[in-house]
Structure 1
Amino acid sequence: MAETERPWAIDAGLAGDLGDALGWAADDGAGALAEVLPTLVPVGSTAKLASIASGEVPPGADPDLLARRVLDHLEAKATRPAGGAPSPTWSCWVLATVMAALVDAAGIGPVRVAATRRVDEQAPVVDLHAAVLVGGSGGAELICDPYFGLSVELPSGAEAVAAASTALSESSVARSHDGGWMLDVRLRRWDQTLRYRLVGAALDRGDVHAMAAISVTCSGVPSRPYARIHPDGSSIVDASETADGTGLLRTWSPSERGSEAAFASWSDAADGFAERTGIRVV
């Protein structure tokens, strides 16, 4: 098989070690991987912001390096270091390409990284987002979003709709006559549903590099530090810098609903995040 037919292939040993660290195996299925990733891998903006500050394109196109960095963090976290195990927070492109690499290594079906564009009424002009497609080629196709921790099976018929839910999220996908689809996403802590339209169904590493470069100047995410994790898949914890430079730490679970704590700065909010999650955001 030509290398270009497996754009997300990485070292098999690295993929196996990362799957083990995540507690995930091929028999669990791709949907389970999409759900487990944000329970252990912090998502957000700090890796992107650090790259921009250094004059570099934000990460996403190099899953070999990214899988190693995620594995290093998980191994460090297992030792429970004082102050939390350090990690940047990763964009949707990083979560998607690392997931695609693990699915590819597991051999559980054709896997593609897709580009979507946010199109709901509150969407900015340009907000590109990543998804992972598993299966297809005549069989069932699973639409996965590891950034939000969800997956839903794409229906076969035009204008058909399928839905899925977890303890933390709701999602639905509808197929259009042109073969594309729309994905609706809502974390249960939000009032708002995000809608994404497929714009690129099979990206390679160069395509993802281009998408990450676009995100430097065109993004639906504020250019401020943000971190989110779904501990044990049973709650959502996030920290953010607000527009006025202060910090905010929020927690939510289906049983306790939401709580919010204000801090004088992002640094203080990040300290609260580390205390709550064992992850020291860098």
Structure 2
Amino acid sequence: MTNVQRLDERAYMASGRRRERTCGEAGFQYEIAFPSWERVEQQMHELDKRVEAEARKQYERREIYPLDWCYQLDATTFISMAAFERILGEEQTHYMLWKNRNADVWTTTYWELPEVVDCLLERSIADGDGNECCFTDAQPIDYARSCTFTPGEMLRRQKAEQDVEHAADDGLNYALYRHPDVDVIECAGYAVFVSTRNPSRTVRVEYRGDTWIMQAFEQCRPWGIPARFDWRDAPLDIPGTEYRQRFQAARSAFDYAIAWVDAEVR
């Protein structure tokens, strides 16, 4: 963290004025120029368009796993670490600072001083509300909102407990990872998994007695017996809570549905 005295020293240097120091008979000069607010604003806006466009593509393709480390652009937008660094190059810290507090004359005064920019970025993240541009995990990513309907909405209509509904939403987010062709629609009050890859296949979702009941269909005809996923039977790879077991059961049920509707059929 840059101390106040050093920050003031660098601010003086960044003001554009020339300052001399001597060491014995030798002297040296240094001067640090800083870019104009207009130049910074234009550069950051151009980069922002590219970053946001790539983030939208990754969301549509459902490329980011909810446990991946990535960059958060705001409360609902995420981009992979590789794409973020590829697009921004050496402008990553500048961009994050601009994203969090925007550029103004005062900020651009320190633009060419890496230690000060780092300090300002740390402050912008620490003083924020959690929605800042920062390096984090992707757990808040919400693929469920891209679906027409969700099992969570079905549960709300059934007036299920809130933790059951939330576990269903979380399970769906994980299950949808890398399945951009899958959607969930409503049919006769049920949530139904579909995929543009296999229009003839569907899976109907029911929830009764704390159990997910998944009925696969082929050409509108039932395929096999319904698969059941009870949260009390959900295996845990690590010790967890009831919520985690409900999440595991929901995720397993939705993984089953997606494996059926999104399978490669020859």
Q: What TM-score, normalized by structure 1, do the two folds share? A: 0.26
Q: Which has the higher helix share?
A: 2
Q: Which has the higher strand share?
A: 1
Work out which of the two has the higher radius of gyration on C-alpha atoms and give 1 or 2: 2
Q: What TM-score, normalized by structure 2, do the two folds share? A: 0.27
Structure with higher RCO (Cα < 8 A, 6+ apart): 1
